[in-house]
Chains A and B, each alone.
Chain A
Amino acid sequence: ETGVTQTPRHLVMGMTNKKSLKCEQHLGHNAMYWYKQSAKKPLELMFVYSLEERVENNSVPSRFSPECPNSSHLFLHLHTLQPEDSALYLCASSQDRSGGRNEQFFGPGTRLTVL
């Protein structure tokens, strides 16, 4: 499946590093999402963008900074992370944020380890 791609697939970073996760969707969708998936926890929605505007920010610490330059690309900028931020970060897209079937298409994720 190549509808939603994410890079890098794996990332190891120190607490003082700055890195960025990239997501690209090739489906012509209008909404994009960042999720955090930790072991033994539900999927945690972090950010939602609809038509390139941020419409949801679920109390995510400021060390995570999203960017959506256009409807096909979504970034997650990381700065001074903590070890508890280690998780699988999933990007998803859907045709629209609401209405209709609106299933979400997920990318393969970035496995992040913070040392």
Chain B
Amino acid sequence: GQQVMQIPQYQHVQEGEDFTTYCNSSTTLSNIQWYKQRPGGHPVFLIQLVKSGEVKKQKRLTFQFGEAKKNSSLHITATQTTDVGTYFCAGRDSNYQLIWGAGTKLIIKP
């Protein structure tokens, strides 16, 4: 079946370093959404990308949607402790199903 692969599973960074997570779909997506789940919390919507090659920014977060609408990335510049959590991508296929990635857990090294 359709899959959205998300890597890496975990990323350990020092506070102030950058963080990136990548999602790749086996098929073309109509759009892709990104969510953040804080430890002990529930997923919270961050953004949706719809257009081929789209780039959107939210403060230190940069979201990209690939030209072929099969891949996406989330980049955080100069991580802070408030960024800790698991970041999920979710791609919408042609049948309106939302296919979730496994998530990337961002861990800030003490």
Contact = CB atoms under 8 A, between A and B. Distances in A.
Interface residues of B, number: 17
B85 interface: no
Interface of A: 41-43, 45, 56, 90, 92, 97-98, 101-109
Interface of B: 33, 35, 41-45, 48, 88, 92, 96-98, 100-103
Task: Determine chain A's interface SS by DSSP, over half rule.
Answer: loop
B45 A56 contact: no
B98 A104 contact: yes
Given A45-B98, A92-B43, A98-B92, 11 more contacts: A41-B102, A42-B101, A43-B88, A97-B96, A102-B92, A103-B48, A104-B33, A104-B43, A105-B45, A107-B42, A108-B41
Contact of B45 (A41, A45, A104): A104
